[in-house]
Structure 1
Amino acid sequence: MVPPLALDIDGTLTTPTGRIDPRAFELLPAWDAPIVFATGKAFPYPVALAHFLGREETVIAENGGVAHVEGETAIVGDPDAARAVVEAFRERGGEVGWGDGDTVNRWRETEVALSPDADADLLREVAAAVDDVEVVDTGYAYHVKSTAVSKGRALGVVADALGVGPASFVAVGDSENDVSTFEVAGESYAVANADDAARGAADAVLDEGFMDGTVSVLDGLRERAE
């Protein structure tokens, strides 16, 4: 039997240009074990991906701030503290950076995401003055979130609801926000485009990047299960 998967999305199921790699639609619908899509994006994004893949909507969003499994949604973290940090950042001249319409944050429930062009030094300085708030750099955004929130903690919640242990999961990811997932999963892989934090936490760093790396993991797991 193939193992359950905990898969990041950006940088892991995508092409280098940020598109969902079409191989996800070939390989993931038939995976004969649970798949958890674990992302820093707002809740609707991984739900939509699961829906269009024909998978159960088993997702972790907002870096662990939202977990959805078996039709139940758990919201974790203090969004007010994160929003207060961003407001103070703005008052000191910082910009969130997404422009008018900001769909990046429109549906976000537990954190605030800022453009990778935002002033990271200023943002971290402002966040450091607030208890239990941190800034996480995913390479695609700076996320201001509660320190009580992580993908790894959320994976424990999801695994418990599914009746399996977190250590039964194989995780694939590419950035700092995947470190906590790697720490609780039984087996973890960083794709070749991963940042230093993910590389240091993973059991193995792949030779291939983006979806190429994820495909190599899936192929290896299938061969092992045969």
Structure 2
Amino acid sequence: MVPPLALDIDGTLTTPTGRIDGRVFELLPDWDAPVVIATGKAFPYPVALATFLGLPPQVIAENGGVVHVADETTFLADPDRPRAVVEAFEERGGEIGWGDDTTVNRWRETEVALSTDADEALLREVAADVPDVEVVDTGYAFHVKSTSVNKGDGLVRAAEALELDPESFVAVGDSENDVSTFAVAGDADAVANADAAARDAADVVLDEGFMDGTASVLEALSAGRTPGE
């Protein structure tokens, strides 16, 4: 029996150049346990990935702001304060930084994502003046989000809907926003490219990065071995 999985996307199911690694389509479609995709991306992205994998869309999106499982979608945060932070940031000369690409935030329901080229110091200064809002750096974007949600709480909610114990999950991730997931999953693996926060929170820091690391976890679990051994 293989365990259920909680998998991040960027830096975890991708190549170093940001593409979805083709091994995702070899290793996950026939996984004989629930797979929850837990990401900072906007809601449609993990749903699309699960759909193309032929898996039920069991997803935690927007860093826990949106949870979709058992055909039920729950929005767990109000976007008004994050949006107010970004508006104030722009009024003070800050730039979101995506250029002409409006898709990053077009379907985002509970938070706002800014490019890592944005002025982080100014963004954090503005956010500090707004209650219950935080800035999370995933290495791919600065996420302005409610402090009341995170991916770990999303996993607890998803596990409950699936009638599973969160501790039965194996989680794989790479950044600060995976720390809460690692805290509730039974086993937590950080890929080699993980940031310091994720590495410190993980049970195992893998020798391989990106999808190489995730593939090593899936192959070990399929063989009945403990990842990282």
Q: What TM-score does the superposition give when structure 1 sets the normalisation length?
A: 0.99
Describe how 1:120-199 pairs up with structure 2 within 5 A. Answer: 120-199=120-199
Q: CA RMSD in A?
A: 0.7
- Partner residue of 2:208? 208
SS of residue in 1 equivalent to 2:143: strand
Per-residue CA deviation, residues 196-215 of structure 1 (Å, 9 max, x unaligned), is 00000000100000000001
Per the TM alignment, residue 224 of structure 1 is displaced from its structure 2 partner at its CA by 1.2
Per-residue CA deviation, residues 135-183 of structure 1 (Å, 9 max, x unaligned), is 0000000000000010000001100000001000000000000000000
SS of residue in 1 equivalent to 2:47: helix
**Sequence identity percentage:** 76
Letter in 1 for 2:205: V
Q: Across the two proteins, how many residue pairs are aligned to each other?
A: 225
Letter in 2 for 1:20: I
Matched, 1:109 2:101: no
Letter in 2 for 1:89: F
SS of residue in 2 equivalent to 1:189: strand
SS of residue in 2 equivalent to 1:224: coil
- Partner residue of 1:88? 88
Q: Give ranges in structure 2 of 5+ residues lacking alignment.
A: none
SS of residue in 2 equivalent to 1:144: strand
Per the TM alignment, residue 101 of structure 1 is displaced from its structure 2 partner at its CA by 4.0
SS of residue in 2 equivalent to 1:213: helix
CA distance in 1, matches of 2:151, 2:118: 23
Q: What TM-score does the superposition give when structure 2 sets the normalisation length?
A: 0.97
CA distance in 2, matches of 1:11, 1:124: 24
CA distance in 2, matches of 1:58, 1:203: 24
CA distance in 2, matches of 1:101, 1:195: 26
CA distance in 2, matches of 1:207, 1:197: 17
Q: Give ranges in structure 1 of 5+ residues lacking alignment.
A: none
Letter in 2 for 1:105: N
Per the TM alignment, residue 100 of structure 1 is displaced from its structure 2 partner at its CA by 2.2
- Partner residue of 1:75? 75
